């Protein structure tokens, strides 16, 4: 149903219902919510990587044969955690279909890495099922209102190359390499000083929709709190660490 396991510095969360194209029913949604709680409670798990079992689908959204098991008013959202926020980076590793609620789960993640077989879209349009796991809010923030409305209103599918061009996914890789690529990025993120990276992430996400002056004030407040980390990092750079484009490792 859901497998959550450590993979290096990441918590790898796999939706395991390949016979249903990894569609989500009630028990699977509850297990996803529990996996997020596990991630938040594990200080050594620095990135959550979300993927689907098998090559055919990341997630096909809500299991339309088991809608009665899903709670549309669940605090975390019908599909588990789409109305919750992670405090650390998250990455979707996508192969095959990421459609309907599956796309909404991918949009919940900070980054989306798709292999060349990926197909993304609001497939629920054809069945009259509403987007209620964050799609109407996150999709415009990621690709812009015009592109978002194109996908939301028409329900058309886009393949990996078009998704990359519109900014819907961040990177594309050859077939079958999505998970390895996502875990590699996770390790890169885990090697950075965490306090400042997570502070910058919080400032970026929390300032969406704020007037510029308010966003700048938020950035200044959050940044001031982690300046000692930056001071130590600057001293390490001055001493020779991280030269030539190499990353400065976390302490």
Residue 179 in tokens: 């998970």
**Per-residue pLDDT at 227:** 80
Res 23: pLDDT: 97
Q: Find tokens 């990353």 and name the residue.
A: 247
Catalytic residue IDs: 104, 124
Is the predicted pLDDT of residue 242 greater than 70, yes or no?
no
- Mean pLDDT of the 48-61 span: 97
The whole-number pLDDT of residue 238 equals: 67
> Are residues 88 and 57 in contact, defined by beta-carbon separation less than 8 angstroms?
no
Can you read off the two tokens belonging to residue 28? Answer: 């699977």
Dihedral sign for Cα atoms in the order 155, 157, 162, 165: positive
pTM: 0.93
What's the pLDDT score for residue 176?
Answer: 98
Q: Which two tokens stand for residue 16?
A: 């395991």
pLDDT digits (tens, 9 = 90+) for 98-154: 999 999 999 999 999 999 999 999 999 998 999 999 999 999 999 999 999 999 999
Domain boundaries, the chain: 2-190, 194-245
Residue 51 neighbours by CB under 8 Å, 6+ apart: 12, 13, 14, 15, 58, 92, 93, 94, 95, 178, 179, 182
Average confidence (pLDDT) over 59-68: 94
pLDDT of res. 231: 73
Whether 159 shows a pLDDT value over 60: the answer reads: yes
Contacts of residue 220, defined as CB under 8 A and 6 or more positions apart, other chains included, come to none
Determine whether domain 2-190 maps to CATH 3.90.226.10.
yes
Residue 95 pLDDT exceeds 70: yes
Give the DSSP letter of residue 24. Answer: B
State the DSSP H helix or E strand holding residue 223, giving kind and residue range, or none if neither.
Answer: helix 212-225
Per-residue confidence (pLDDT) for residue 198, from 0 to 100: 96
Q: Please answer whether residues 117 and 55 qualify as being in contact, where contact means their C-beta atoms are separated by less than 8 angstroms.
A: yes
Question: For all residues of the chain together, what is the average pLDDT?
Answer: 93
Q: Residue 65 — pLDDT band, cuts 50, 70, 90?
A: very high
Per the CB < 8 A criterion, the answer to whether 248 and 233 are in contact is yes
- In terms of pLDDT, which residue wins out, 231 or 36? 36
Edge to edge, the sheet with strand 119-121 lists 57-59, 97-99, 119-121, 157-159
């Amino acid at each position: 149903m859901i497998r959550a396991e450590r993979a290096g510095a990441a918590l790898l969360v796999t939706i395991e219902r390949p016979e249903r194209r990894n569609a989500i029913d009630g028990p699977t949604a509850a297990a996803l919510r529990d996996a997020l709680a596990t991630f938040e409670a594990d200080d050594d798990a620095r990135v959550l990587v979300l993927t689907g079992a098998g090559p055919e689908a990341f997630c096909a959204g809500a299991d339309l044969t088991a809608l009665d098991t899903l709670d549309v008013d669940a605090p975390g959202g019908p599909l588990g955690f789409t109305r919750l926020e992670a405090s650390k980076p998250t990455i979707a590793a996508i192969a095959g279909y990421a459609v309907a609620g599956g796309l909404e789960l991918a949009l919940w993640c900070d980054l989306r890495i798709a292999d060349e077989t990926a197909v993304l879209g609001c497939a629920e349009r054809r069945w009259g099922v509403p987007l209620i796991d964050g799609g109407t809010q996150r999709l415009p923030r990621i690709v812009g209102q015009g592109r978002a409305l194109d996908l939301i209103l028409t329900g058309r599918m886009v393949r990996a190359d078009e998704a990359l061009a519109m900014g819907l996914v961040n990177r594309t890789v050859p077939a079958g390499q999505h998970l390895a690529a996502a875990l590699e990025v996770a390790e890169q993120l885990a090697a950075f000083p965490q306090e400042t990276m997570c502070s910058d992430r919080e400032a970026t996400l929390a300032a969406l929709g704020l007037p510029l002056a308010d966003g700048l004030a938020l950035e200044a407040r959050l940044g001031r709190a982690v300046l000692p980390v930056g001071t130590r990092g600057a001293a390490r750079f001055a001493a020779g660490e991280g030269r030539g484009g190499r990353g400065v490792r976390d302490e």
